[in-house]
Amino acid sequence: MSVPDAGDDTQRRFRYQINFTALKCLQTLRDGSDVRAVYCEHVEDVLIEHVDGSLTGIQVKSRELNQKPFRSNDQAVQGSLIRFCVRDARYPGRFRQFVLATNFVFFAGDGVNDLRNVLKRCRENPSHEGCGTRDRIVAYLKLVAGAAGVPVEGVVRTLARVVLEERRTGIDQPDIEIVHALGEFPALRELPWAELAVMAKGLRAHVWEVSSLGLSGFILDVHDVVENLPQHLDRLRTARKRVDGDVLRSLIQPQSVSGELLAIAGFTTRESIPPGLGKMELKMAAGSISYADIDEMKDDVSSLDTAFLRWKEKYGLTEANKRLAHFQHFAKRAARDAEKTAERTGAPYGPAMFEALKVEAGAISQAEASTLFGCRAEHLIGAAGLLSEECRVWWDPSRTLPLTETE
């Protein structure tokens, strides 16, 4: 460990705050949440904007688990309370509450050293009725008032809205907490753990980036020069620090969804996959494929149908059709390679092509695992069956559709 230079430990504590902020940002996407946006290192460590326009200011304090709990007279605690009082006085009526958060715990006791007792007094007995002139909590409040430069009555009003948040974790644990929080969203629940970890890393990186005063790009090239440039830059920095639902959705988009998907020419968009597969069955039967194999293909198409309906429900019809086209692209390629294999073997064409298709689909599912949305080779085979129904894949060299008795 770098004992003389504590910069690495400082960065580690900043990292904890970044993780904590990222968890708060995710509240903007939760059903029923009144969090409109989160500001990173703006006015407070974390500043939450509620839908009614009110604010919650959060100070984050970290401590190793082998150290003593935070007491009200700790410099870090007093400093946070003083900041809350100053902010409340500067922006009257804007703050709904203040939060003092820690990865650790606060001291528990009967006297003034337990911060809960101080906050409880401010909420339940703001006039200190029945307290003597030497009351230690009153003395503590006067100390905070003197340091903040506000009246004691103002300190009491502010501290009455302070909430303590004890997370009882190690400094490094929130890395995993973000992954768990992402996995609680229905749209992300079925993604691989590794992909959620990548999303968490991207979210942390964004929060870390916007927590600084830096601005990206060539500011004077992309913005008009205004009369008050410092004020203009302050507005840009404030906007950059703001993380709302739209920003969050762009950051936690699944990799397979945000990447460029493949398609096939003349792709037919659809509301659902047709339940009847008569043309597919006729074509496979013409290729002398067994009843059992045809039945297996129908099951694979059904599996693809289930996936399509799930995509439609989670991401909308447009995205579901994009994914289906992506699958059909690979299925068409696999079927084309299977046709070439069947032609070379000299074995009965249909069965040889069907076996080759399964081999090709298996190879593609392994090579393209990160782009197949957690699906299997059977889903690709089902896509080939759907292409058969659309007359894009054939199972005998004649490429003609046998007439049924009714025809």
Sign of the Cα pseudo-torsion (174, 176, 177, 182, in order)? positive
Q: pTM of this prediction? A: 0.62
Partner residues linked to 17 by β-bridges: none
* CA–CA distance, 372 with 311 (Å, rounded to integer): 12
Is 14 found in the same domain as 62?
yes
Query: In sequence order, which residues have a C-beta less than 8 Å from that of residue 298 and are 6 or more positions away?
Result: 277, 280, 281, 385
In a domain, 257, yes or no: no
Place of tokens 């890395």: 175
Is 274 found in the same domain as 349?
yes
What pLDDT score does 222 carry?
Answer: 54
What pLDDT score does 367 carry?
Answer: 87
Domain, as residue range, for 340: 270-390
Distance of CA 10 to the CA centre of its chain: 26
Q: How many domains does one find in the chain?
A: 2
Helices (H), 101-252: 115-124, 136-148, 152-159, 174-183, 193-210, 219-222, 229-241, 245-251
Is 275 found in the same domain as 248?
no
Is 277 found in the same domain as 238?
no
With H, G, I as helix, E, B as strand and everything else as coil, classify residue 165: strand
Is 319 found in the same domain as 281?
yes
Is 112 found in the same domain as 141?
yes
Q: Can you read off the two tokens belonging to residue 121?
A: 């007094």
Partner residues linked to 61 by β-bridges: 102
* CA–CA distance, 140 with 180 (Å, rounded to integer): 40
What pLDDT score does 225 carry?
Answer: 63
Is 375 found in the same domain as 325?
yes
387 and 331 Cβ atoms separated by less than 8 Å: yes
Is 242 found in the same domain as 274?
no
What pLDDT score does 259 carry?
Answer: 57
In a domain, 108, yes or no: yes
251 and 199 Cβ atoms separated by less than 8 Å: yes
Is 305 found in the same domain as 247?
no
Is 231 found in the same domain as 133?
yes
Per-residue pLDDT of the chain (407 residues; tens, 9 = 90+): 556 667 788 888 899 999 999 999 999 999 899 999 999 999 999 999 999 999 999 999 999 888 999 999 999 999 999 999 999 999 999 999 999 999 999 999 999 999 999 999 999 999 999 888 789 999 999 999 999 999 999 999 999 999 999 999 888 876 788 999 999 988 788 778 888 888 899 899 999 998 988 776 555 555 556 677 778 778 888 888 999 988 888 888 765 444 578 888 888 888 888 777 888 999 999 899 999 999 999 999 999 999 999 888 877 888 889 999 999 999 999 999 999 999 888 788 999 999 999 999 999 998 888 788 888 999 999 999 999 998 899 998 888 776 554 44
In a domain, 403, yes or no: no
Q: Can you say whether residue 169 is alpha, beta or left, with left for phi > 0 and alpha for psi between -120 and 50 degrees?
A: beta
In a domain, 397, yes or no: no
What pLDDT score does 405 carry?
Answer: 44
With H, G, I as helix, E, B as strand and everything else as coil, classify residue 163: strand
Is 163 found in the same domain as 25?
yes
What pLDDT score does 257 carry?
Answer: 45
Is 239 found in the same domain as 302?
no
What pLDDT score does 369 carry?
Answer: 81
